[in-house]
Amino acid sequence: MGPVGRLLLCTLLGLLGHLQNSRASTPVIQLSDTTQQISFEEGLYVLNDPLNQLSVQDLVRESRSYQFEAVNTPISLVNHQTIWLRFTAENVESGSLPMLLEIDYPYLETVSAYVISQRGPELVVPELGWRIPAIKRPYVHRNFVLPISFPGRQSVEVYVRIRREAGMLVIPVRLWQPEAFRLHDLNETMIWGLIVGWLLFAVGFSLFVFAVHRQNIYLFYSFYILVQSGALLSTAGLLENLYFNADWGIGGNHTRQILMLLSAGSNFLFVRSFVTIKKSETGWYSRWSRFTLLAWGGLAGVVGVFGLFTGTIDTTAEQTAFEILVGLIRLVYALILFLTLSTVIKGLRLQESVSVAQLYLLAFTPLLLISLEQFLGWLMPNENYTHIRINDYIFAVVFETVVLLFGLIYRFKTYRDERENALRQQNQLALQAQQTERARLARELHDGVGPELAVLKMQLEIESDQNGAVPRPQLKRFIEDVDRISRDIRDVSHALMPADLRAQGLVLSLEQLVAQLTAVQSGAEINFTHGDIGQMTAVVEQTVYQMTKELLNNMFKHAHASLIDIELYRQNGNLLLTIADNGVGYDPAIVERVEGIGLRNIQTSAEALQGEFEIRRKPTGGMLHRITLPV
Per-residue pLDDT tens for 345-369? 777 777 666 777 777 778 878 877 7
Please check the confidence at residue 500 and state whether its pLDDT lies above 60. Answer: yes
Which run of H or of E encompasses 174? strand 173-176
144 bridge partner residues = 103
CATH code, 514 = 3.30.565.10
Average pLDDT over residues 161-181: 83
- 3-state SS assignment for residue 623: strand
pTM (two decimals): 0.59
- 623 and 517 co-located in one domain: yes
> 38 and 172 in contact (C-beta within 8 Å)?
no
Does any domain span residue 68? yes
Residues across the chain: 631
Candidate from 71-75, 92-96, 474-478, 578-582 with smallest mean pLDDT: 474-478
Q: Examine the domain organization and report whether 153 and 286 are in the same domain.
A: no
CATH of the domain at 250: 1.20.1070
The DSSP code for 625 is E
What letter would DSSP give residue 90? E
If asked whether residues 272 and 228 sit together in one domain, one would say yes
Q: Does a structural domain hold residue 19?
A: no
Predicted local distance difference test score (pLDDT) of residue 11 = 47
Give the residue numbers spanning the domain of 303. 191-425
As a whole-number percent, the residues of the chain with pLDDT over 70 amount to: 68
Q: What pLDDT score was predicted for residue 319?
A: 61
Pick the range with the lowest mean pLDDT from 103-117, 185-199, 583-597: 583-597
d(CA 583, CA 588): 14
Q: Of all helices (H) and strands (E), which one includes residue 117?
A: strand 110-117
Q: Which of 176, 209, 229 is the last residue of a domain?
A: 176
| Mean pLDDT on 269-290 | 68
C-alpha distances in Å from residue 145, one per residue of 55, 77, 176, 366, 368: 21, 18, 10, 30, 32
433 in any annotated domain: no
Q: What pLDDT sits at residue 25?
A: 54
The verdict on 249 and 377 lying in the same domain is yes
Mean pLDDT of 580-604: 72
Distance (Å) of CA 593 to CA 363, 546, 587? 55, 20, 10
493, part of any domain: no
Residue 100: pLDDT above 70? yes
Lowest mean pLDDT among 14-23, 101-110, 571-580: 14-23
Residue 48 lies in a domain: yes
Residue range 508-517: mean pLDDT, rounded: 84
507-514, Cβ contacts within 8 angstroms, sequence gap of 24 or more: 507/533, 507/568, 509/541, 509/545, 510/545, 510/548, 510/566, 510/568, 513/545, 513/548, 513/549, 513/552, 514/566
Task: Count the alpha carbons within 13 Å of 309 in the hemisphere toward its beta carbon.
Answer: 8
The total domain count for the chain is: 3
